[in-house]
């Protein structure tokens, strides 16, 4: 049951962030369909970021998200 609540909350927060950012990648500034976008934790959860805090979330396209995640992993090494 707790997993359902977390997923439901994430979907609600994700929709809000996508709308707030006008379906535009925060890095490359291009507009995409919502299925082509990810909502990224600016400060990753494993580095202390809050999972559902909207001011820790931003919209990224798949390509920019992949690059940002790679940098996050490099920073943890």
Q: Are 64 and 27 in contact (CB under 8 A)?
A: yes
CATH class, range 2-76? mainly alpha
Residue-wise pLDDT tens digits, 20-74: 999 999 999 999 999 999 999 999 898 899 999 999 999 999 999 999 999 888 8
Question: What predicted TM-score, i.e. pTM, was given to this entire model?
Answer: 0.86
């Amino acid at each position: 049951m707790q997993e359902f609540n977390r997923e439901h909350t994430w979907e609600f927060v994700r929709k809000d962030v996508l709308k707030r950012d006008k379906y535009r990648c925060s890095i490359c500034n291009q507009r995409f369909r919502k299925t082509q976008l990810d909502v990224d934790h600016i400060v990753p959860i494993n580095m202390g970021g809050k999972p559902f805090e909207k001011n820790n979330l931003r919209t990224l396209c798949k390509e920019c998200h992949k690059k940002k995640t790679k940098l996050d992993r490099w920073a943890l090494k």
